[in-house]
Amino acid sequence: MQIRQPIHSEHARTLDTEGLRRHFLVEDLFQPDTATLTYSQIDRIIVGGIMPVGETVSFAPELGRHTGTDFFLQRRELGLINIGGAARVTVDEQVFEVGPREALYVGQGARSLAFESVDAEKPAKLYFNCAPAHTAYPHRKVTLAEASPETLGSAETSNRRTIYKFLVPDVLPTCQLLMGMTQLENGSLWNTMPCHTHDRRMEVYFYFDMNDNGVVFHMMGEPTQTRHLVVRNEQAVINPSWSIHTGVGSQAYTFIWGMVGENQVFKDMDHIPMSALR
């Protein structure tokens, strides 16, 4: 498990490209027959990827060492979205078939988690976010049809997109974790503009559905001190509360957003006027 410390906004202003990438970019999320985990001390979120190919991947008991608990999810909840082939996930004694573009919520207290690909030729890729939790809610799979889709934007502003809200209060109860997926239409490149910040939440963006030559210029930083990261396929960016989070790509793409913090009000955001950006 990688550990990322919080970065003050004034410190972030001084970072060069390599410094920004080291603190905020998460690369190499999917590795065969293993789970990768990055622990950010910003709101204690854990970001990771699981890609079972020929073996079953399980969370080792010693993961509890990193969280100071007897087992990994003793005081945590977890949400995952499958961007690969069909998966079979066993949570304690419950078995969930999680297909492509489907999500699974695992509530606090689950002791045993095992992840398999239904077809090794088409391995599952399970992107997950994990956050501290104070009570146990039921485990549940959420399909694309159940994910409260909302289409926004227009071709004229290059941001026609559909937002799928998988883990939100209107769909199912969670302690604090929110997750969803935004898919841009062909010809649209901007994911969120005008942009915003979340004083009360942090957010992680995970970009995928890009070819080898595709990139997203992910914009971050304070509104008057913007910076950017060049992000490639299947990489994630950790965005602190003080940072904007938006991006423009060299092609259409899809991204998964995950938020943790004070509340679960999806529209609780502080919009930044275009005239204020620097």
CATH of the domain at 142: 2.60.120.10
pLDDT digits (tens, 9 = 90+) for 9-36: 999 999 999 999 999 999 999 999 999 9
CA 123 to chain centre: 20
The pLDDT of residue 140 is 98
Cα separation, 46 vs 234, whole angstroms: 16
Give which of 78, 86, 143, 141 is closest to 116, Cα–Cα. Answer: 86
Give which of 35, 79, 26 is closest to 53, Cα–Cα. Answer: 35
Q: Tell me what the mean pLDDT of segment 75-86 comes to.
A: 98
pLDDT beyond 90 at 148 = no
Give which of 130, 104, 167 is closest to 46, Cα–Cα. Answer: 130
Cα separation, 124 vs 126, whole angstroms: 6
Q: Tell me what the mean pLDDT of segment 102-117 comes to.
A: 97
Q: Tell me what the mean pLDDT of segment 157-175 comes to.
A: 96
pLDDT beyond 90 at 265 = no
Q: Tell me what the mean pLDDT of segment 215-236 comes to.
A: 97
By the 8 A CB rule, do 208 and 12 touch?
Answer: no
CA distance from start to end of the chain: 35
3-state secondary structure 122-173: CCCCEEEEEEECCCCCCCEEECCCCCCCEEECCCCCCCCEEEEEEECCCCCC
Residue 152, Cβ density class (10 Å: 0-12 exposed, 13-18 middle, ≥19 buried) = exposed
Which of 36-40, 127-131, 149-153 comes out lowest in average pLDDT? 149-153
Give which of 151, 137, 152, 95 is closest to 118, Cα–Cα. Answer: 95
Give which of 118, 133, 119, 115 is closest to 59, Cα–Cα. Answer: 115
At residue 258 the predicted structure's pLDDT band, cuts being 50, 70 and 90, is: very high
Residue percentage of the chain with pLDDT more than 90? 90
Please tell me the total count of domains within the chain.
1
For the beta carbon of residue 186, count every other beta carbon within 10 angstroms. Answer: 8
Sheet holding 94-98, edge to edge: 57-58, 113-117, 87-91, 94-98
Q: Tell me what the mean pLDDT of segment 216-232 comes to.
A: 97
Mean per-residue pLDDT of the chain: 95
The pLDDT of residue 64 is 75
The pLDDT of residue 164 is 97
At residue 159 the predicted structure's pLDDT band, cuts being 50, 70 and 90, is: very high
- Residue written as tokens 């092609």? 251
Pairing status of strand 150-152 against strand 94-98: unpaired
The pLDDT of residue 45 is 98
pLDDT beyond 90 at 59 = no
- What is the pTM for the complete model shown? 0.96
The pLDDT of residue 246 is 95
The pLDDT of residue 253 is 96
Cα separation, 79 vs 40, whole angstroms: 16
H-helix or E-strand spanning residue 260 = strand 254-261
CA 222 to chain centre: 21
Note down the domain range covering 33.
2-276
At residue 60 the predicted structure's pLDDT band, cuts being 50, 70 and 90, is: confident
pLDDT beyond 80 at 97 = yes
Q: Tell me what the mean pLDDT of segment 211-240 comes to.
A: 97
